[in-house]
Structure 1
Amino acid sequence: MPARRTETRSATRTRTPNAALLALLGALDPADWSRPTVCPGWDVHDVVAHLLNDYLRRLSGSRDGHPGAVFTNDETLPSYVNRTNGEFVTAARQLSPRVLTELLGHLGPQLDALWAAQRLDAPAALSVSWAAPPGEDVPAWLDIAREYTEHWVHQQQIRDAVGRPGADGPDLLGPVVDAFLRGLPYALRDRGGPDGTSVRFDVTGPAGGTWTAVRSVGRWALATGAAADRAAARDTARVAMDQDVLWRLATRGITPEEARRRSELSGDAGLTEAATSLLAIVA
């Protein structure tokens, strides 16, 4: 049997997820491409094709102004996303792994250039449904962060499927964790409480940290600096969760119930339940 190809240690530690993805794909054996993933009905080849669809869609829409596929009558956003993703993945089954990899390698730098040219504090062209109510503007950096998380998560789903750990150091996973916790105030949106009510969310592991949501003037927001320090002294509720559990929860690779079993919860049970229902995908 031919020797199993491996990624180099430096490749898995690269600071760009696209480079880590290409190193991973280049190390896969032919049989790896047909291994099932956590995405229902999709094997590794399909998940890679979905990533290619993401690259093509954002370059076409955000760079070139192409409107893309249109909604059908009464189609919701989740059903639209599922339909268009499925259509592309089905068509891409005609493409070889080599073609998919080469296309990702060609388009990745173009996508990086698109993000680098963005004014990060400008309003985003697209909403981030899991971090803000419909119609509320979000900054461009959050839209870019959302795309980053999707690319990273799909890479990890491939790694899980083929048994190849990596790309989970703080340089690559840290931005994912931070982006996902931007959805904490939205996860708490239906929970009331007096001003000053707070929820502390500790993510353990090298890519972790602490995020605190505080209720003020009838709404939740992440606290920073001195406000976060004051809230930490009198947390109403607290969640401590491992970084691996967090990203799987936020993308529903595991259920909220499983995430709670694998975490430490204290304080107001209603608030910890809402916090651990955090969702960072369109669903």
Structure 2
Amino acid sequence: MPDPSSPVPDPSSLVIADLRAEGEELDQLVGALEAGDWARPTPAPGWTVAHQIAHLEWTDRAALLALTDAEGFARQAAEALGRPDTFVDEGAEAGAALPPAELLARWRAGRAELDAALTKAPAGERFPWYGPPMKAVSMASARLMETWAHGQDVADALGAVRVPTARLRHVARIGVRARDYAHAVRGLPAPEGEFRVELTSPDGTELWAYGPPEAEQRVTGPALDFCLLVTRRAHRADLAVTASGAEADRWLDIAQAFAGPAGEGRERRGA
């Protein structure tokens, strides 16, 4: 039983620690790769393992800029808006062209700097981003989601199987909260009312529940499968996520936890 005299953990420090752990796990996957393995293609068309790590390095640096230099970030964001279809790919291409050892060192350094900036950030302050401004805890959650998702691309390219952890709670929460965005980015009206989402934790000991218990529109399934769905790292038909209600069913076809275009997504296994 928790000691009532003990201080309540800061949510920001918890998610920052989880982000750190997610990066370290991916680092273990790529840190010892031979140079040729960095050129392996991943499920993202045109992107190699090097592109995936380069993209994470680039976006970590963007988050660091947002936390430490609002004016500098505003200039970068304006540049991105001027080239919305190519800006992200250009960043990945530039990083992927580096020697693997240099790219790995830059990614590690950027993660460490971002960790320090997130830790120092005032809890109530909002920082600029490509969408609405975010608090540090939300930015850390978003970086974790992206690290996990691109880490899945790397794992798939290398034929590695990752053990899902409770850190997926952050990814699932973003996926649930992004329901209306997933509709808006496709020009669809948002459903009225909340959905009930019930997910079984990776170790099978918990139920992660979101939304009112009495909601008619419901989604259930393993947390891992839901996270693969909302990051579009697996085809819906290959996952054990089920919907009850027409609106919930439509949402599972378009769900995404990340900003920007959804992309083609993964093909069904065996297709």
Which of 18, 22, 28 in structure 1 is aligned with 2:27? 22
Which of 248, 251, 259 in structure 2 is aligned with 1:274? 251
Aligned CA distance change for structure 1 residues 253 and 206 (closer, same or farther; 3 Å): closer
Aligned to 1:262: 240
The equivalences for 1:10-49 within 5 A come to 16-49=21-54
Aligned to 1:97: 100
Which of 144, 150, 153 in structure 2 is aligned with 1:154? 150
The equivalences for 1:202-217 within 5 A come to 202-206=198-202, 209-213=207-211
Aligned CA distance change for structure 1 residues 239 and 88 (closer, same or farther; 3 Å): same
1:180 aligns with 2:159: no
State the Cα distance separating 1:162 from its structure 2 match: 0.3
Q: Is the 8 A contact 2:19 2:140 kept in 1?
A: no
What RMSD, in angstroms, separates the aligned Cα atoms of the two structures?
Answer: 3.1
User: 1: distance between equivalents of 2:61 and 2:114?
Assistant: 9
State the Cα distance separating 1:61 from its structure 2 match: 3.6
Q: Is the 8 A contact 2:191 2:247 kept in 1?
A: no
The equivalences for 1:7-156 within 5 A come to 16-65=21-70, 66-67=72-73, 68-69=75-76, 71=78, 80=84, 82-126=85-129, 128=131, 139-156=135-152
Q: Which amino acid aligns with 2:200?
A: T
State the Cα distance separating 1:76 from its structure 2 match: 5.7
State the Cα distance separating 1:210 from its structure 2 match: 3.1
State the Cα distance separating 1:265 from its structure 2 match: 2.1
The equivalences for 1:239-258 within 5 A come to 239-255=219-235, 257-258=236-237
User: 2: distance between equivalents of 1:18 and 1:269?
Assistant: 37
Q: Which amino acid aligns with 1:107?
A: G
Aligned CA distance change for structure 1 residues 15 and 209 (closer, same or farther; 3 Å): farther
Aligned CA distance change for structure 1 residues 44 and 64 (closer, same or farther; 3 Å): same
User: 2: distance between equivalents of 1:204 and 1:235?
Assistant: 18
Q: Is the 8 A contact 1:249 1:279 kept in 2?
A: yes
Q: Which amino acid aligns with 2:209?
A: W
Q: Percent identity?
A: 22
Gaps of 5+ in 1: 1-12, 129-135, 214-230
User: 1: distance between equivalents of 2:223 and 2:177?
Assistant: 15
Aligned CA distance change for structure 1 residues 93 and 188 (closer, same or farther; 3 Å): closer
Runs of 4+ residues over 6 Å off in structure 1: none
Aligned CA distance change for structure 1 residues 53 and 198 (closer, same or farther; 3 Å): closer
State the Cα distance separating 1:41 from its structure 2 match: 0.4
Aligned to 1:218: none
